Each structure stands twice: as C-alpha cells, then as structure tokens.
Structure 1
C-alpha cells in the first residue's frame, strides 16, 4: 500500500531527472551547432522557437494582457537573454561541466544571501573550495580560458537576476511569465545576432529542424516536465535534484563531446553540489521552523 502512495512522488522524481538530462544535453547539441552557426544566432533562435513552442503549450492567447506587469516581464526577459547568450559564449570556450559549475555559483549565491543559518558559512566555504578546485593545478594538462570563465560567471549573475526578477509579481502565471520572458529575451538578442551576421541558411528547413530540436531540449521539454514534477515534489526535493546539474552537464559533455575533466575538477563538481544540497536543506529547515512558530 505504501508503494502505491509513493508512486506519484517517484514519477515526479523521474520526470525532473529527465528534464535535467534534457536541459544539459541541449548544451552538447548547442556546441555541435556552433560549428554551423554563429553563437548568438543559436542563442536567439533557441529563444524564438522556444517561446513559440511554450506559447502553444501554455495557451498564451488566454492571457489577460491588461493585467501584465510589463516592467517585471521586461527585466525578467533581459536577464534570461543575458543568461542564455553568455552561457553559450562560455561553453564555446570551456568544457560543459566546468561552464555549468561556474554558472551555478549565481543561484547558489542568491540562496546563501537570503539564508541566515549557522551552517551557511560551511556552504559558502564549500562553494569557494569548489571554485578553486575547478582551476587545474597542472596548467600543462589543461588550461581554462579566462574569457570563457568571465562569460560563465556573467551567465551566473544573469541567472541570479533571473531568479530574483522571476519572483516579482508579473500579473500572470509563472508558465506565462517564462513564455513572455523568452520572447522579450529573443527581441533583445535577435537584432544583435542579425547585426553580427546571421546567415540566411539558418531558415532552411533542415537547419530549422536542428534548432527546433535544441529549443525543445533546452526549453519546451524541461519546462513542461518541471511544471508537472513541481505539483508533487517539495521545494527541498526539487532543489536537491537540480543541484546535480553540474555533474549531469559534465557527463553530457563526456558522452557527446568527449570532453575530459581532471580528477580535481570532478571533485570540484562534488563539492559544489554538496554546497548546493546543504544550502537547500538548511534553508528549508529554517522555513519550517518559522512556519511552526507562526502556528503556535
């Protein structure tokens, strides 16, 4: 009987795990597409096609556009555009797992900024240690592109703003906020991509299919699966699982792109994941303590 009760929870875990694999595998596909298209073209087309797909999935025409807080949507969309473009620029210069690890510092910093527990200093220390371990001690074996690191950290900063702006009241549902935010982000990136030299071949049927696959893997599929999973999973379970993304990205880069990491860099992924899981746990514990006090 208990197994039946746990079935929805197990299904939600599986859906979220599929969503993370889809999201991180899209990074490998994006790197492959960089050989055919300019990076900003890939980024802009992902947002264009992704927003179109999500508009159909979430029935954007049902929105009451008079209720939309456009200033919140625009800030959210700009952060999304920056996060997407800078991340793609970073993975052109860095292994996928390394780039995601540097980028992951953004949301982790937001969580640690708002957390006020005695263990927070441990998670901060682990995050710093993870960053240090990402740098190869033997530069002759493998060096990291400093510009790529800067792009990844910039993507992380945009990710932090994406989280903060995404929590602002937008007048519409979270799903519709993501959809409109992606469209605003596309409007920001598309002129830059065109000015930088978007090839006309981008709109050939075969190429559109490849870019559509990227949009599905990076946006439509993971967002839709996360929406279903969040109906069952607790914030702690969701935060813990999403903390595994740097490792999933590294595995995706190894399988699809044959990217190799040093043992210290694999250790760095473990340390950063531990910091994220620990931060998620203590934050949820503090939230429960506050809720229990309010009940008394």
Structure 2
C-alpha cells in the first residue's frame, strides 16, 4: 500500500493522490453501511474530502499511471481494513510486526535497486527510522487495535480524519492557510467522524439494555 502510494506521488500531485487513495476506506464505509444515518456520515466525509483536497486544479493533466497506482493503494487499504479486523483479534499488534517483516523482505531489495548512492549516507538513517516508526510501526499498531474495537464502516469513515488533520497540521506548523471553503470542508469531515462515533456508542447502549 505505502509502496504504491509513494510511487504515485512521483507523478501525481499529493492532494490528488491522497484523494484517490482514500477511495479505499470510504468504499468500505459505504458498502458496510446498513442504516440511513450511516450513509449521512459517509456522504459528509466524501463532500469534505472533495472540497478540502485540491481536486479542482491540474486534474485534466494527471498522469494516468500515477493515478492508477494511487487507486491501487486505495484498494490495498480497503483489503487491509477488511482483513485486519480478524487478524487483529487473533494476534493483536504482533500482526503489524509480522506484516512489516514480510514487507521488508519483499520491498527492501526493490528499494535498494531504485535508490541512489545517497541512501548509504549515515545522515539518512535517522530520517529512515523516523519514517519507519511514524508512517508504519506506530500508526498500523494503533489501527490494528482500533479495528478490533470498531465496525469496519466506522473505521473507514474515521480514516477521513487523516487528510483533515494533515491540513490542520500544515496550518499550525507550516504556516499554511485554509480558504473558507476548505474550513467548511474540514468541519464536514470532523462532523462525519464525530457523528459516526456517537452513533456507534448509542448502538452499544441499546444492545446492552436489550441483553439485560
């Protein structure tokens, strides 16, 4: 999934690549929804992503290969959500360790073959470790725990918070500014995530009362 995404952003603008990749978790949320209220949260998330990410610019000039790679990353993400729930229930965070080991065996040789000589500099090591921890080990471990506690439709909707948080981080740490439309889009995504979570809690309470 990460490999396809990193390949895609070589030829596709980052915002468009992120939007294409998020078709995976949003598709899981959509097809896993059963009640009308679930579709409301998914639609809110989709609308928010549409206006938050820069889909309106340079779309006609998007590289088709890069777009296909981003969509492939999204498909991998969807499979990860659907299969990760069972794997997390059986093995917990150890699933991430095993998956990372298998991925390293496959993709380290590919990465070495495509890397330049600068990859062998010691100054790259701290950056590589930071990327490994922050982009793979830590988030996937937390996601694996979350998958065992949340329905896939809720998890898929909550994933739409990632680009929203990225936009907020850019505003706070990088001095980037958001337009009024993007601010409304951000609020739409937050509302979708909060709504899906609050609805889940209400469901759990009703089931608990029925059992008693």
Structure 1 residue 158 displacement after superposition: 1.7
The one of the two structures with greater contact order (alpha-carbon pairs below 8 A, sep at least 6) is 1
| Whole-angstrom CA distance in 2 between matches of 1:256 and 1:89 | 26
For the pair 1:167 / 2:85, whether they are aligned, the reply is: yes
User: In structure 1, how many angstroms separate the alpha carbons of the residues matched to 2:110 and 2:126?
Assistant: 22
Structure-2 separation of matches of 1:124 and 1:242: 11
Give the superposition deviation at 1:177: 0.4
1:250 counterpart = 2:167 = yes
Q: Deviations over 1:47-89 (max 9, x none)?
A: xxxxxxxxxxxxxxxxxxxxxxxxxxxxxxxxxxxx2123333
Q: Where does the alignment leave 5 or more consecutive residues of structure 2 unmatched?
A: none
How many residues matched?
Answer: 202
Contact 2:164–2:189 (CA under 8 A) maintained in structure 1: no
The yes-or-no answer on 1:143 pairing with 2:44 is: no
The TM-score, its normalising length taken from structure 2, stands at: 0.69
Alpha-carbon offset, residue 130 of structure 1: 3.0
Who is 1:109 aligned against?
Answer: 27
Show the 5 A alignment for 1:1-296.
83-92=1-10, 93-95=12-14, 99-134=17-52, 142-144=57-59, 146-147=62-63, 150-169=68-87, 173-195=91-113, 197-222=114-139, 226=142, 244-254=161-171, 262-293=179-210, 295-296=211-212
| Structure 1 contact 87–99 (Cα < 8 Å) conserved | yes
Contact 2:25 2:159 in 1 (8 A): no
Q: Take 2:29 and 2:190, find their aligned partners in 1: how far apart are those partners? A: 13
Q: SS in structure 1 opposite 2:58?
A: coil
Q: Give the drift of 1:159.
A: 1.5
Deviation at 1:191, TM superposition (A): 3.7
The answer to whether the 8 A contact 1:101-1:269 is kept is: no
Structure 1 stretches of 5 or more lacking a match? 1-82
